[in-house]
Amino acid sequence: MTTTDTNYTVVSRHNTSEGVVLWVRCSRCAALRMHLLPAIGGDVALTAGHHEDTCPTCGE
């Protein structure tokens, strides 16, 4: 897991058939992001909702 980023607050965590879904909120711009941790391994980060492009914390 790559939850070493302390700039995020975990909002909720769900176990699904595809893996663990984490909803996190950026502590800087308050953008909600969805992290999918596939059951088969690996790490996929998806962004949901409005994303602040200028945020240096979660802007990619």
Q: State the CB neighbour count (10 A cutoff) for residue 22.
A: 19
Give CA angle at 22 (8, 40), nearest 5°.
125
Under the binding rule (CB under 5 A), the answer on residue 55 touching Zn ion is: yes
Which residue type, as a one-letter code, is found at position 22?
L
Beta bridge partners of residue 15, listed in sequence order: 20
Stretch that binds Zn ion, among 13-21, 34-42, 49-57 (CB under 5 A): 49-57
Under the binding rule (CB under 5 A), the answer on residue 58 touching Zn ion is: yes
**Near Zn ion by CB under 5 A: residue from 26, 33, 35, 37:** 26
**Near Zn ion by CB under 5 A: residue from 20, 21, 29, 32:** 29
